Amino acid sequence: MELHLSYSIPVAFILDMVLGDPCRLPHPVRWMGKAIMRMEPVFRRLPFPLVISGTLLTGFMVPAVWMLTFLLVHASGMVHPAIRFIVETLCIYYCISPSSLRSATMDVRNAFASGGLTEAREAVSRIVGRETGNLTEQGVIRASVETAAENLVDGVISPLLYAAIGGAPLAMTYRMINTLDSMVGYKNDTYILFGKASARLDDVANFIPARLCVPVIALAVSLLAGIRAGKRSFQTAIREGAHHASPNSGYPEAAFAGALAVRLNGPAVYHGQTVRKPYIGVSFGDITLNDIPRACDIMICAAFLWTALLTVTIAIGCL
């Protein structure tokens, strides 16, 4: 850990909360997506089984991002330490997304008010991978809250943890892993083999962060809703976190289910096929529209606490 990261990480978080996702500016994560789209057909044409070609794609893209970011940070440091600080902070800022996640999740709630269930289905379709055309009101609300829970890990906990360990290069590397998973890590006929390595690497990268998020969420819930709710959040995550098709997503979802005392997860349709996922928070009641802003509050509070914890840890470790 380097001392300057104790400044870069909180500044990056503040930038995201103030500016949100800079949609009109050059964005490294969008560049990653375009690079994957261009390189996928190149690797698919290789004379190997698809699982090997997909592994080679992952093995090429992930180290390439680390190397490019490392060279950028190193070169900026050679110009001036202040330039390096700015570059590294901006890179970390581009890797996190609590503000845009809150906005996208709240868009679902606002869509119910302005256009009813049809508009809400359209809004939630922009943030989930499942089919939304036939979702009930409960299904739409569950999907939005589950997304807030899962993306707390993908969009805050994991990238900031890797930033604390290895600075902007490692944070950007994580973002490439996550982007690969979101683009080629599907379990359908097109990607079940080609995207296998990307999906497995994403599972590995999120394994520890997904579990570290549980006490952070519980603490956030304790501050927002009281110690009893925080304890319920923690206990639900420990008891039911493994009840999910994903090795990682169940932990933040279960923590949110316990925090809100609602039932999450359950069967969903992906690419025309129904996936029989077990419910999480089985002893709780149905979710309501008011749980969306409550989930957003928990997500933002947990993101703030995680940023503060990492900042203090780095500062102490560098003493």
Q: For the chain, give the percent of residues with pLDDT over 70.
A: 98
Q: What is the mean pLDDT of residues 241-259?
A: 93
Question: What pLDDT is attached to residue 272?
Answer: 67
**For 123-132, 208-217, 247-256, which range has the lowest pLDDT when averaged over its residues?**
123-132
User: Which is more confidently placed, 273 or 51?
Assistant: 51
Contact 253, 149 (CB under 8 A): yes
- The conformation of residue 262, written as its DSSP 8-state character, comes to B
Question: What pLDDT is attached to residue 171?
Answer: 97
Q: What is the pLDDT of residues 1-11, one digit of tens each?
A: 687 888 999 99
Question: What pLDDT is attached to residue 229?
Answer: 97
Supply the angle between the helices 291-317 and 158-184 in degrees, to the nearest 10.
Answer: 130
Domain extents for the chain?
5-317
CA atoms of 167 and 89, how far apart (whole Å): 9
Distances (CA, A) of 84 to 15, 70, 73, 156, 248: 17, 11, 6, 22, 34
Distances (CA, A) of 203 to 101, 105, 224: 21, 24, 30
Q: Is 139 exposed, middle or buried (0-12, 13-18, 19+ CB in 10 A)?
A: buried
Q: Is the pLDDT of residue 235 over 80?
A: yes
Handedness of CA 51, 53, 54, 55 (dihedral sign): positive
**Band (271; pLDDT cuts 50, 70, 90):** low
- The conformation of residue 277, written as its DSSP 8-state character, comes to P
| Closest C-alpha to 94, from 186, 175, 170 | 175
Question: What pLDDT is attached to residue 1?
Answer: 65
Q: What is the pLDDT of residues 93-127, one digit of tens each?
A: 999 999 999 999 999 999 998 989 999 999 999 98
Could you give the count of Cα atoms lying within 13 Å of 188 in the half-sphere of its Cβ? 13
Q: What is the largest CA-CA distance in the chain?
A: 59
Q: What is the mean pLDDT of residues 137-166?
A: 95
Q: How far apart are the first and last CA of the chain?
A: 11
Q: In whole angstroms, what separates CA 238 from the centre of its chain? A: 20
Residues 6+ apart with CB under 8 A from 263: 142, 257, 279, 280, 281, 282, 284, 285, 286, 287
CA atoms of 86 and 310, how far apart (whole Å): 19
Q: What is the mean pLDDT of residues 286-292?
A: 94
Supply the angle between the helices 5-19 and 98-125 in degrees, to the nearest 10.
Answer: 40
Residue 75 corresponds to which amino acid? A
Q: What is the pLDDT of residues 155-195, one digit of tens each?
A: 999 999 999 999 999 999 999 999 999 999 887 888 999 99
Question: What pLDDT is attached to residue 4?
Answer: 83
Q: Is 239 exposed, middle or buried (0-12, 13-18, 19+ CB in 10 A)?
A: middle
Supply the angle between the helices 5-19 and 158-184 in degrees, to the nearest 10.
Answer: 60
Beta strands in the chain (DSSP E): 264-265, 268-270, 273-275, 279-280
CA atoms of 195 and 187, how far apart (whole Å): 8
Position of tokens 């850990």?
Answer: 1
Residues 6+ apart with CB under 8 A from 83: 76, 77
Mean pLDDT of the chain: 93
Distances (CA, A) of 314 to 15, 164, 264: 20, 7, 35
